């Protein structure tokens, strides 16, 4: 598989990332990507940017160094109701809307309650991708999540960074294997995400790719080498 897109990355604006938009785009170009998504952390996460940042994204070119840029946000799922930070006025001006659970701004509950929250986020019509559902931050039942993702055409991410041993997310690998097996069974496409917080990590899927081989996951259901399909699936203008 030739990687042509990575749509979960962060620039220095996210508060704990270390490269500029230009540096991220240059790295994507050097790695042969056609699409780069930069999805800054939304305001509920400590250290993230002020909402006004998103209101001015229109000044940023959507192509740099031959790479198409999608500029958006990684929204925070805040509670067991599936509440997201920011509001629709912001969603409308973002190219890309990812939603995920982050421990520093997550008020969780039981496995059933957490799963309900994730299902609500998936069913939110603005959500295009769920970030790192398998990282273990919240205990979840993955089968209904996979089925809801199929129903709503929401992409589930296999997040490579969460399986880096330095992250100490002990459940991430097994959870991602379970998600992949379920997505294979129900023929649900997935997206690999680098979650890069520095330019050198753009499209670095070193911890995710072995899981595709281990589960014999069909390449036809991996969207990272299919830019046109990704844009259509996510409802983004080509």
Tens digits of residue pLDDT in 16-54: 999 999 999 999 999 999 999 999 999 999 999 999 999
Q: Residue 194 falls within a domain, yes or no?
A: yes
pLDDT at 238: 84
CA 96 to chain centre: 10
Q: Residue 11 falls within a domain, yes or no?
A: yes
Q: Residue 134 falls within a domain, yes or no?
A: yes
pLDDT at 8: 98
Closest CA to 72 of 91, 85, 59, 88: 91
Q: Residue 105 falls within a domain, yes or no?
A: yes
- pLDDT tens-digit series, residues 127-183: 999 999 999 999 999 999 999 999 999 999 999 999 999 999 999 999 999 999 999
- The total of other beta-carbon atoms located within 10 Å of residue 172's CB is 23
pLDDT at 66: 98
Rounded CA-CA distance 162/171 in Å is 10
Q: How long, in residues, is the chain?
A: 238
Q: What percent of the chain has pLDDT over 70?
A: 100
Q: Residue 60 falls within a domain, yes or no?
A: yes
Q: Residue 238 falls within a domain, yes or no?
A: no
Q: Give the residue numbers spanning the domain of 107.
A: 5-233
pLDDT-based confidence at residue 235 (cuts at 50, 70, 90): very high
- pLDDT tens-digit series, residues 93-141: 999 999 999 999 999 999 999 999 999 999 999 999 999 999 999 999 9
- Mean pLDDT of all residues belonging to the chain: 97
* DSSP category for residue 39: E
Residue 75, φ and ψ in degrees, nearest 5: -75, 150
Total domains present in the chain: 1
CATH for 108: 3.20.20.140
- The total of other beta-carbon atoms located within 10 Å of residue 211's CB is 21
The pTM is what?
0.97
Half-sphere exposure of 163 (CA within 13 A, CB side): 24
DSSP codes joined into one string, 42-100: PTTSTTPPPTHHHHTGGGS-SEETTEEEEEEEEEEB-BTT--BSS-HHHHTT-SEEEEE
Q: What H or E segment, with its residue span, contains residue 147?
A: helix 142-152
Q: Residue 186 falls within a domain, yes or no?
A: yes
């Amino acid at each position: 598989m030739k990687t042509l897109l990575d749509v979960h990355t962060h620039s220095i604006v996210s508060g704990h990332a270390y490269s500029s938009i230009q540096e991220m785009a240059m790295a994507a170009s050097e790695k042969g990507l056609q699409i780069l998504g930069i999805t800054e952390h939304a305001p509920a996460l400590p250290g993230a940017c002020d909402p006004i940042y998103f209101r001015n994204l229109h000044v940023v070119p959507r192509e740099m160094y031959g790479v198409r840029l999608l500029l958006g946000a990684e929204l925070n799922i805040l509670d067991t109701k599936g509440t997201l930070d920011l509001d629709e006025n912001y969603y409308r001006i973002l190219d890309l809307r990812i939603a995920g659970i982050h421990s520093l701004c997550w008020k969780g509950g039981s496995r059933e309650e957490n799963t309900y929250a994730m299902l609500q986020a998936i069913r939110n019509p603005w959500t295009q991708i769920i970030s790192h559902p398998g990282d273990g931050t919240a205990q979840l039942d993955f089968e209904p999540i996979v089925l809801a993702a199929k129903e709503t055409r929401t992409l589930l991410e296999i997040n490579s960074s969460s399986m880096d041993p330095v992250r100490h997310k002990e459940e991430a690998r097994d959870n991602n294997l379970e998600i992949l097996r379920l997505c294979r069974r129900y023929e649900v496409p997935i997206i690999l995400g680098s979650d890069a917080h520095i330019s050198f990590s753009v499209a670095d899927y070193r911890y995710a790719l072995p899981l595709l081989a281990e589960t014999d996951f069909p390449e036809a259901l991996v969207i990272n080498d299919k830019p046109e399909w990704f844009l259509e699936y996510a409802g983004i203008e080509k």
